[in-house]
Structure 1
Amino acid sequence: MADRKQVLEGLREELIERFDRYQAHKEQKGGPLDKDTEDQSTELANDEVIEALQQEAEDELRQVLHALKRIEAGEGDACEHCGEPIGEGRLQALPYTTICLDCAERQ
């Protein structure tokens, strides 16, 4: 479980950095927009994509924090729904998961 915790902590830091980069882009901290309207259009074209990526990073970060909280409580390897152990393969593929494969398939 210590390895999984380390993986989750590393993922948490990566997601926070990614979220901050997306936020900086949205706030245009890199400088003002280009004076050329065509260039401005190009610079702003990716705003929807950046917003979606930021939301995805935020959602994943929420899952990572939840999984870390469960590990701290000694519940990290047990499925939240049925209480059965979460398979090692599933934990390796999705270290932030809190439900077993059977329960995930039922959802």
Structure 2
Amino acid sequence: MTNRKSELETLRADLQARLSRYEAHQHREGGALEKDFEEQATQTQNDEVVDSLESETRAELTQVEHALERIENGVGDECESCGEAIDPRRLQVLPYTTVCIDCADD
């Protein structure tokens, strides 16, 4: 469990760093939009991609935080739907999962 917790804490730090970079991009910390209209169009498209990446990162961070909370509460290896043990191989592949494979398929 300690290895999984450590892995989740590392993942959390990585996700938080990514969010900081995305937020810096969205706040134009690198500079304002280009004066050229075509460049502005490209930058706007990039903004949409960054928005999508930011949303995905926030969702993953929420899952990581939830998994860490469950570990702290001593139930990190139990499925939160059925209460059965989550297969260690599943936890190794998807360390922030909180449900067993059977409940994930439902």
Once the two structures are overlaid, the 10-residue window that deviates more, 40-49 or 23-32, is 40-49
State the identity %.
55
1:26 matches 2:20: no
AA paired with 1:8? L
Q: How far does residue 35 in structure 1 lie from its aligned partner after superposition?
A: 1.9
- Which residue is 1:72 aligned to? 72
- Which residue is 1:102 aligned to? 102
Q: Calculate the aligned-residue CA RMSD, in Å.
A: 0.8
Q: Give the SS at the match of 2:80.
A: coil
Q: Give the SS at the match of 1:33.
A: coil
Per the normalisation by structure 2, the TM-score is 0.96
Aligned length: 106
Q: How far does residue 17 in structure 1 lie from its aligned partner after superposition?
A: 0.7
Q: How far does residue 68 in structure 1 lie from its aligned partner after superposition?
A: 0.2
Partners of 2:47 and 2:33 in 1: how far apart? 13
Structure 1 runs of 4+ with >4 Å offset: none
CA distances 1:79-98 after superposition (whole Å, capped 9, x unpaired): 00111110011101110000
- Which residue is 2:4 aligned to? 4
- Which residue is 1:82 aligned to? 82
- Which residue is 1:55 aligned to? 55
Q: How far does residue 55 in structure 1 lie from its aligned partner after superposition?
A: 0.3
Structure 2, unpaired ranges of 5+: none
